Structure 1
């Protein structure tokens, strides 16, 4: 076979899957709605189970569900007879996936679930299968052409079921109004976590902030600047943000007469302020645009007010250290 044919063969396989995956709309029916309601009302966990290639789909689906706040895990059906059934409780819901629906390894799991009245969402292509007969919610998907030359290797069918599970998860996300902030709670690490961090996740707070009253003198401000090492000192009046002094502001008048070293004369009265729910990446963009190295952070409700209470400070070094982009 000529190497140039490799691309055409790959395109042929991809086109087969693309064509077949469009049939996903056929499963968006009453059963799909029932599945969403059952998952949403489950008091326990969502437990995925399947064998062969479907076991990997189930593990991925369980990970996706957990990542959006739906407690979920995978149970190997072959282990049910050897103690794994102890992980399953009455308040849980099972989502069992099998193309034929007659996989022998599912028998013991189905018997256990039916005996203890554990709800089952069955996903299969055979409406008369053992799985769907034992299920409370029956999701039947159409017979699909696999993308291999012999139409036997699970390729299209596994992609189809993975898409179905993703659609279940994303529909529930919409139903629960699941936000980026919610998502970040389960993704603290990695590049994804970094991109989802908010100002309040990175800012310094409390005694780490260089805050001083407007009545303070130059020496006190200079001492605080050196102690906190953020390159700024925040000036407050009646506990509200009154202004800001940078390290450069202090250094420029350091050798001047005491008359010129008065805080009110060097205070910047309108410092840049962001709300605590601003994304860290947006904060970095704002700092780059304004050519500044620090930002004051206030609560969401204070952002629009004239008098603002300081909640935290972000320095550009914090953002770069956490690999915010």
Structure 2
């Protein structure tokens, strides 16, 4: 039995050693890519950004095999960050899909060797119609590298595969450089979180990019009472609306205070229910604009150690958000 446990521990350690070697090999590829950007790859990367940014059409990403899988993800990342893009399979391109590419587009072709046979038709098509061609390859003197307007030369790096064969480190480097291109374009265009929300209306990202006005409770749901209200009446309002607080407004309808569960505990005394809210409320409560992102509202609630926020416009309360409602909507 002890021998079996020892064998199991050895096997487990070998598995973890393998995982560590893989991650270290791939990390070395990323470090090599950073070093390349600081030298010869830098000017080419800048030229690639300029070529894409000045194009009137879309970015057409292409690649075969693992490069193709990476290319699909790069196209998706570009599209979601403000640079319209699509993936064209190089084998399908010569069977009619070249019609998807216009002279206003820019092609980004991925091939570690630069000699992928299926890319030949795309290379010829780009030359014939003067379509900008960006190569992402480790071989600048290859057919792809030589034909490209801009060649993003990837530094040589050993694959994580022990036989140095399966695309692992190389695929990660392609993906990382594609991400770098997408983010550089995003930043150069001033693509904002608001712009991002337009392209990501669904899922968790969509929830995080909603505005406070999209999730706030309004109208009769608002827990509000005027100055001078007895605490007994304020407590009824607080309990009825279920937000754990009640906002206090002055004669102009401006929010001037808030009574929370915490205020009740701090002012607990025999005559609490008979005093006016003016003597109990927290003055100048924290509020937010309806145009603030819901994710920012969650951050404010968390940092302020509160559970709800009134939303005001010209000092008047127009809505309220509660941490439970925000979390139910998927905002975290």
Q: Bin the TM-score by the shorter chain.
A: 0.7 to 0.9
State how many pairs are aligned: 308
> Offset at 1:111?
1.9
Q: Match of 1:137? A: 150
For residues 161-186 of structure 1, the C-alpha deviation after alignment (integer angstroms, 9 at most, x for no partner) is 11111111222233234444443443
For residues 249-303 of structure 1, the C-alpha deviation after alignment (integer angstroms, 9 at most, x for no partner) is 9xxxxxx9xxx7988788765333123426132143156x13xx4321236xxxx
> Offset at 1:14?
3.0
Note the 1:226-305 alignment, pairs <5 A.
232=246, 235=249, 237-238=251-252, 240-243=254-257, 270-275=284-289, 276-277=291-292, 279-286=296-303, 289-290=305-306, 293-298=307-312
Q: Give yes or no for contact 1:195–1:281 (8 Å, CA) kept in 2.
A: no
Q: Give yes or no for contact 2:227–2:248 (8 Å, CA) kept in 1.
A: no
TM-score normalised by structure 2 residue count: 0.75
Q: Does 1:171 align with 2:178?
A: no
SS of the equivalent of 2:94 reads: helix
Distance (Å, rounded) in 2 between the aligned partners of 1:140 and 1:266: 68
Q: Match of 2:174? A: 161
Q: Does 1:12 align with 2:17?
A: no
Distance (Å, rounded) in 1 between the aligned partners of 2:82 and 2:141: 34
Q: Match of 1:60? A: 73
Distance (Å, rounded) in 2 between the aligned partners of 1:187 and 1:143: 36
TM-score normalised by structure 1 residue count: 0.77
Distance (Å, rounded) in 2 between the aligned partners of 1:7 and 1:222: 59
Note the 1:172-251 alignment, pairs <5 A.
172-205=185-218, 209=222, 232=246, 235=249, 237-238=251-252, 240-243=254-257
Q: Does 1:315 align with 2:322?
A: yes
SS of the equivalent of 1:153 reads: coil
SS of the equivalent of 2:200 reads: coil
SS of the equivalent of 2:21 reads: helix
Q: Give yes or no for contact 2:225–2:246 (8 Å, CA) kept in 1.
A: no
Q: Give yes or no for contact 2:224–2:246 (8 Å, CA) kept in 1.
A: no
Structure 2 counterpart of 1:41, from 40, 48, 54: 54
> Offset at 1:76?
0.7
SS of the equivalent of 2:135 reads: strand
For residues 132 and 240 of structure 1, do their structure 2 counterparts lie closer, same or farther at Cα, with a shift above 3 Å needed? same
> Offset at 1:208?
6.1
Structure 2: tracts of 5 or more residues without a match: 1-6, 264-270
Structure 1: tracts of 5 or more residues without a match: 250-255, 300-306
Distance (Å, rounded) in 2 between the aligned partners of 1:12 and 1:247: 55
